[in-house]
């Protein structure tokens, strides 16, 4: 976070084609294609239940896909499976332990992802971005929900990972922190990072939009029910 020079591989490409996913026998989306490369911002829009979160979890490798392929390549080395080491997910749950202070939570996250202990300065810089510096040594259980959400976002500048998967990152953020998040995303893109965000609000970042509603399967055909999961 100290310079704007690209620190990530500029040859990284992530694309999906013909993706389909089912949740509990219901087809969430099908025939979905997307492509992002280093420095891209992709926002996923669509009504509730259109599969925005599902797509993010599919990309992160949590969910199996029904059909289609996700291909990932960096500097010409194509790989069929995704390297989880390059992902960072910010979801609805913030992954914070209430009994720990924010500093302990953030240090643990850093150690978990990198295997080393973060320098105090690094934590301080990451906390400053979302105005959390005064809360660093407070236990997370006394935080408001907005503060918890900002604490969860603090992982983004803390650990260097190229692909950010964000599920409604602006929910519960005030105007100042939305601006801080937009600036952070722009900085990440300038460094060659990739951001895929599911959102209902404009993020204030220029990028491509993937409207999930266009990949809705035709409903009304009861034969669509997948019996395989039963």
Partner 1 sequence: MSHPSHAQPSISSVFTALVRRDVTLAWGQGGASLLALGFFLIAVSLFPFGVGPEPQILARIAPGIIWVVALLASVVSLDRLYQADYEDGSLDDLVLSPMGLVGIAGAKVLAHWLSTTLPLAVAAPALAVLLNFPDEGYWVLVGSLLIGTPALSLIGSIGASLTVAVRRGGVLMFLLILPLYVPTLIFGVGAVDAAVMMGDPLPHLALLAATTLIALVVSLAASAAALKLALE
Do 197 and 166 touch, CB atoms closer than 8 A?
A: yes
Q: Does 115 bind partner 1 (CB under 8 A)?
A: yes
Determine the Cα–Cα distance for residues 157 and 106; give it in Å rounded to an integer: 11
Do 167 and 138 touch, CB atoms closer than 8 A?
A: no
Q: Does 111 bind partner 1 (CB under 8 A)?
A: yes
What string marks each residue from 2 to 21 as x (binds partner 1 by CB under 8 A) or -?
A: -----xxx--x---------
Determine the Cα–Cα distance for residues 87 and 58; give it in Å rounded to an integer: 12
What string marks each residue from 155 to 194 as x (binds partner 1 by CB under 8 A) or -?
A: -----xxx--------------------------------
Do 166 and 136 touch, CB atoms closer than 8 A?
A: no
Which CB atom, from 80 or from 223, has the smaller least distance to partner 1?
A: 80
Provide the residue count of the chain: 230
The backbone region for 173, taken as left when phi is positive above 0, alpha when psi lies in -120 to 50, beta otherwise, is beta
Which CB atom, from 92 or from 213, has the smaller least distance to partner 1?
A: 92
* Number of amino acids touching partner 1 (CB under 8 A): 38
C-alpha distances in angstroms, 109 versus 117, 126, 133, 175? 10, 13, 17, 27
Name the segment binding partner 1 (CB under 8 A); options: 40-48, 62-70, 125-133, 169-177. Answer: 62-70
Which CB atom, from 96 or from 203, has the smaller least distance to partner 1?
A: 96
Q: Does 75 bind partner 1 (CB under 8 A)?
A: yes
Contact residue for partner 1 among 19, 96, 132, 203 (CB under 8 A): 96
Determine the Cα–Cα distance for residues 58 and 51; give it in Å rounded to an integer: 10
CB 202 → partner 1: shortest distance, Å? 25
Q: Does 37 bind partner 1 (CB under 8 A)?
A: no
Q: Tokens representing 97?
A: 């332990």
Q: What residue ranges bind partner 1 (CB under 8 A)?
A: 7-9, 12, 60-64, 74-75, 83-89, 91-97, 99-100, 108-109, 111-116, 160-162
């Amino acid at each position: 976070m100290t310079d704007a020079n690209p620190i990530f591989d500029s040859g990284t490409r992530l694309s999906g084609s013909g993706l389909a996913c089912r949740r509990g026998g219901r087809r969430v989306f099908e025939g979905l294609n997307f492509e992002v490369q280093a420095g891209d911002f992709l926002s996923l829009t669509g009504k509730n239940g259109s599969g925005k979160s599902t797509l993010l979890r599919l990309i992160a490798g949590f969910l199996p896909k029904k059909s289609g392929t996700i291909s990932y390549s960096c500097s010409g080395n194509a790989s069929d499976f995704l390297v989880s080491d390059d992902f960072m997910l910010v979801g609805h749950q913030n992954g914070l332990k209430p009994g720990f202070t924010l500093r302990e939570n953030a240090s643990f996250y850093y150690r978990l992802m990198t295997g080393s202990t973060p320098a105090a300065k690094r934590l301080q810089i990451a906390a400053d971005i979302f105005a959390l510096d005064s809360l660093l040594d407070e236990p997370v259980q006394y935080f408001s929900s907005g503060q918890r959400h900002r604490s969860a976002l603090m992982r983004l500048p803390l650990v260097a990972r190229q692909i950010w998967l964000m599920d409604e990152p602006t929910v519960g953020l005030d105007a100042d922190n939305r601006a801080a998040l937009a600036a952070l995303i722009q900085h990440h893109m300038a460094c060659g990072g990739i951001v895929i965000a599911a959102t209902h609000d404009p993020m204030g970042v220029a990028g491509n939009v993937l409207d999930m509603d266009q990949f809705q399967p035709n409903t009304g055909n009861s034969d669509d029910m997948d019996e395989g999961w039963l």
